[in-house]
Chains A and B, each alone.
Chain A
Amino acid sequence: MALKTLTGNYAVATAVKLARVNVISAYPITPQTTIVEKLAEMVELGELKADMIRVESEHSALAAVYGAASGGARAFTATSSHGLLYMHEMLWWVAGSRIPVVMAVVTRTIGPPWNIWTDHSDVMDQRDTGWLITFTENNQETLDETIKLFRITEDERVFLPGIVTLDAFILSHTTEPVDVPDQSLVDAFLPPRKQPYVFRAGEPIIMGNIPKDLKWNMMMREDIDKAMERAKKVIEEADLLWGKLVGRRYGGLTECYRCEDAKHFIIGVGAWVGDMREAVDYLREKLGLRVGLIKIRYFRPFPREDIVKWLNNAMSAVVFDRSVSPSAGGPIFVEVLASLASAGVRTPVRGVIAGLAGVDVTPEDIANAVLTSVSEAEELGTFKQSVLWFYGGE
């Protein structure tokens, strides 16, 4: 173990090296670039024995990674924003083929107008593709989760690709102390690659031709759905094992911060969870409010059970979304509501849409938004307006 100062992007590159990736392919886009630049340097210096395919587009980046992984290699790519959208078709193809690969997404606003700052619209656009999606809060978690994702995606109960996200600049370009585990620990954690099938010369298998029976096609989608459910346990196991080896546990799909006696909850993902922790501390310590924070670590699979467990007897919840599905609310808000409704839980939930396009939201802003909601919920037992657009700074 060694404490190093790493940006989020270098934490990703370090994790990829430790995972002994065989093939890397990527196309540069701000703010993902330094991941690829670092990996290219590692490959050229011989620190990482991998092939680097410097493709002409993101669509090709994921295609090359898919081809390599279908051929039995451990493969990695990274992108952001428009790059991820350009890849979208291939995301479906990779998941549908049940080929495990890992991708880092440095979350960035989608244009127009051109905007390089963080929001989560790019990755949320991928939520139906069949990829696991994890959000990370700091560079340490980014490194840890990238390594874990190789193990989780290559587990035979899962065999699905996975995305690790980190917020543009807030994590990607911000230097933090990061504990880098020894190679031997990572080797002990990460077994040799497994995958459902490998393309080899002389072994005639076929992937992706037209199905004779359409029900098989539908069953393939159902199987992805089931694998995603099975992944919940695999994620918890990985967290446990990683904890044993390196002494860091995060919880499985969620982490609950100061939840024990909480009556009101904040729900969020990604880097601003750190700000939410500060908001919770402030609301508890200065105002005596029993507020807890549910950090959603994995958006896919969605932590339905955890949400229901924590919110079952709560007075209210405020969900912060850094993206929006116009006229439907933020995607996390919608899924929290669906989880509660399907379990018959009637806790009032408010969806706050904030921080889009990189608009800065401070811990004070979060505390203010929560305070308003808590007062409303305590007074009325419900929210008059379930979805709020919030710009902070007031």
Chain B
Amino acid sequence: MPINIKDLPKEKFVLPGDAACPGCPENMGLRFVGMALGSKAILVIPAGCTSIIQGLAPGSGLKFPILNVPFASSDSVAAGLSSAKKILGEDAVVVVWAGDGGTADIGFATLSGAAERNDDLIHICVDNEAYMNTGIQRSSQTPPGAWTTTTWLGKRERKKDLPLIMLMHRIPYVATASVAYPLDFIEKLRKASAIKGFKYIHLHAPCPVGWRFDPAYTVAVAKLAVETGMWILFEAEGGKVSISPPSKPYADKNRRKPIKEYIAMQGRFRNVTQELLTELEKQVDDNWSTLLKLAT
């Protein structure tokens, strides 16, 4: 059901004075989680940028119950918490809020285990495409060509397609989202919270510090990722894939903006060659073709 921005709750869950960098997409994402789930949410957060963003104990800039946990434990902690709430008869939406490292790399075994067991929780992967909190090191989610502090000449490997890997876990709900499309994200969160079992949402989150762009352009970069087809918004309910409205036009290759525009905005791609650009275009075509096959 489409959501109207006027109907969203006014209660704020991200309070002024937290420790996020200017233009931080995670802060935006957390605000949307608050709008979507309100006080029903309990957050489980492994190490990452949000460890910092939430502020210094005993204070906090986030008005959620938050259980901070070690990297490789988040989905299991959330599974236990969710089980306790069920047994004690309490209402709650248990949400794992993890970065791309905490999801796709060091956290992957735990994520996959909880998904296979269909534990009742929502896992949100806040994907800023590198280990930003430790100082911009490459992850399995870093795209080819991107500079990081462990890939000075640009990463050579392809981005691991986590949403599709999660889809193949045959869980009840998988979606991608972007901080540039809050209503789409909020709608997906609400839908997920009404479904029992394991729900996975992969949130694209451009990081001004790590991607080397002006913090004023977080939304612009995120939007371009969708418009160039570099990031595709879709959801899969009960395994049934559908392209989400903001991405629909870009199923048609001719309507996509040139990837060059997206890349030109980001310092991390400054060394990208024409050859690599062609390869990126090929990968975008590939990703679209796989998804469109699944969507039919």
Find residues 272-318 in chain A having any chain B CB closer than 8 Å to their own CB: none
In Å, the complex CA distance between A38 and B150 comes to 48
B57 interface residue, CB < 8 Å from A? yes
- Min CB distance B107 to A, Å, is 11
Do A60 and B73 touch across chains, with their CB atoms under 8 A apart?
Answer: yes
Q: In the complex, which residues 71-85 of chain B have their Cβ closer than 8 Å to any Cβ of chain A?
A: 72-85
> Within 8 Å CB of B238, what residues of A?
none
User: In the complex, which residues 190-244 of chain A have their Cβ closer than 8 Å to any Cβ of chain B?
Assistant: 199-212, 216
A392 within 8 A of B: no
A53 contacts B57, C-beta separation under 8 Å? no
Query: Is B58 close to A, CB under 8 A?
Result: yes
A350 close to chain B: CB less than 8 A: no
Tell me the complex Cα distance, A55–B119, Å: 10
Least CB distance, A95 to chain B, in whole angstroms: 13
How near does chain A come to B196, taking the closest CB pair, in angstroms?
Answer: 14
A353 within 8 A of B: no
Q: How far is the CA of A21 from the CA of B67 in the complex (A)?
A: 22
Complex interface bits, A68-105 against B, C-beta within 8 A gives 1, otherwise 0: 11111101000000000000011001000000000000
Q: Which A residues touch B116, using CB under 8 A?
A: 56
Q: In the assembled complex, which residues on chain A have CB atoms less than 8 Å from the CB atom of B54? A: 206, 209
Q: State how many residues of chain A have any CB contact under 8 Å with chain B.
A: 43
Cβ-closest chain A residue relative to B93: A201
* Segment with Cβ contacts to A, from B40-48, B163-171, B177-185, B249-257: B40-48
B7 part of interface (Cβ distance < 8 Å): no
- A56-B109, A201-B41, A209-B55 known; A23 vs B84 contact (CB < 8 Å): yes
Nearest chain-B residue to A71 (Cβ)?
A: B84
Query: Within the complex, which residue of A23, A55, A203 is in contact with B87, where a contact is CB–CB below 8 Å?
Result: A23
B60 A73 Cβ-Cβ under 8 A: no
Establish whether residues B77 and A64, one from each chain, have CB atoms under 8 Å apart when the complex forms.
Answer: yes
A342 → chain B closest CB, angstroms? 34
For the complex, is B52 an interface residue (Cβ under 8 Å from A)?
A: yes
Q: Give the CA-CA distance A67 to B56 in the complex, in Å.
A: 22
Q: Closest CB of chain A to B19's CB: distance in Å?
A: 9
Which residues of the other chain, B, contact A61 by a CB distance below 8 angstroms?
76
Residues of B within 8 A of A200 (CB): 42, 65, 85, 90, 92
| Min distance, Cβ A25 to any Cβ of chain B, angstroms | 6
Chain A contacts for B109, CB-based, 8 A:
56-57, 60
Contact of B83 among A51, A201, A206, A208 (CB under 8 A): A51
B209 an interface residue at 8 Å Cβ cutoff?
A: no
Contact A64 B80 (CB under 8 A): yes
Q: Is the CB of B64 within 8 A of A204?
A: yes
B9 proximal to A (CB < 8 A)? no
Inter-chain CA distance A57–B107, complex, in Å, is 12
Tell whether A57 pairs with B80 under 8 Å between CB atoms, given A202-B40, A209-B68, A210-B51: no
The 10 closest A-B pairs by CB, nearest first: A67-B80, A71-B84, A208-B68, A56-B113, A68-B80, A63-B73, A63-B76, A67-B77, A60-B76, A64-B80
**19 A-B pairs (CB sep. < 8 Å):** A23-B87, A59-B76, A63-B76, A63-B77, A68-B84, A71-B90, A73-B84, A75-B84, A90-B70, A202-B39, A202-B40, A202-B65, A203-B65, A205-B66, A206-B54, A206-B62, A209-B51, A209-B55, A212-B59
